[in-house]
Amino acid sequence: MKRGSADKVAVDLEKLLFINTLDIFDSFLPKLKEVYLESYTDLLLVDNIEEGSLANPLLFYEEYEEALNNFTYVSVAAKGEVKMLVPDEDNFEFEGRLKFLHWLSIGVINSYYELPINDYNYLINYEKLSKQIKNSLLDLPGFFGEITNDLDFYLVDESLNIHGILQNILNKKLIRFPFSNTQAIELFEDGKGFFNKSKEALTNKIVDKSLEDIKRRAY
């Protein structure tokens, strides 16, 4: 084979490796996402969630599924190198209401009460509320999207000792955050493990398919 032909084979093989990586990994993605969603269901969709809790993971399921669908699983590095990625604690974008999942993934210290955003707004504008408590409210962690809706909420740390006052003003009992004092939940472990077990077979399939494709071409 002439030098020019050899160079063309190398260039074509690189292109085929890129195309087949995208195609084969794309066909692998549905099963990978299924493993991530199964982990979510097994670890978070438990039976002891109090009725009316805004921290019920069922309320975050669709957003999590959408985030998995929008995740960048394949990236192109320098010199056309293709890199396959899967969601983990470091690269997953915990944005908007999904910051809730980040809390669970690192573990929750202390006990909390849920404060729905409508109640929060009422309290912030309540004239008789002390400045000290208002300042505490302004520092509360919250989980909400770009567009405010009734599912958005804040968490009131029990150690602040203000939940009783807030309950009296609101004339209602605040729901205890169901994941208070819980260890880190390894939401991504099964997905990462499944990918790592499948990676060698995927790579071999990509290489074999690319070599088969290159053999069909006449140089």
- Whether 89 and 137 share a structural domain: no
- Whether 172 and 213 share a structural domain: no
Q: Dump pLDDT digits (tens) for 203-215.
A: 899 888 888 877 7
| Boundary of a domain, candidates 143, 158, 176 | 176
212 belongs to a structural domain: yes
Q: Dump pLDDT digits (tens) for 51-89.
A: 999 999 999 999 999 999 999 998 877 666 778 889 999
Q: Dump pLDDT digits (tens) for 171-181.
A: 999 999 999 99
DSSP string, the chain: --HHHHHHHHHHHHHHHHHHHHHHHHHHHHHHHHHHHHHHHHHH--S-PPTT-TT-GGGGHHHHHHHHHHS--EEE-GGG-EEE----TTTS---GGGHHHHHHHH-B-S-EEEEEHHHHHHHHT-TTS-HHHHHHHHT--EE--SS--TT-EEEEEGGG--HHHHHHHHTSPPPBPTTTTBPPP-TTHHHHHHHHHHHHHHHHHHHHHHHHHHHTS--
- Whether 3 and 89 share a structural domain: yes
- Whether 88 and 9 share a structural domain: yes
- Whether 140 and 61 share a structural domain: no
84 belongs to a structural domain: yes
Predicted TM-score (pTM) of this structure: 0.86
What domain count does the chain have?
2
The boundaries of the domain holding residue 78 are 1-94+185-219
Q: Dump pLDDT digits (tens) for 120-139.
A: 999 999 999 999 999 999 99
User: What pLDDT, on a 0 to 100 scale, did the predictor assign at position 139?
Assistant: 95
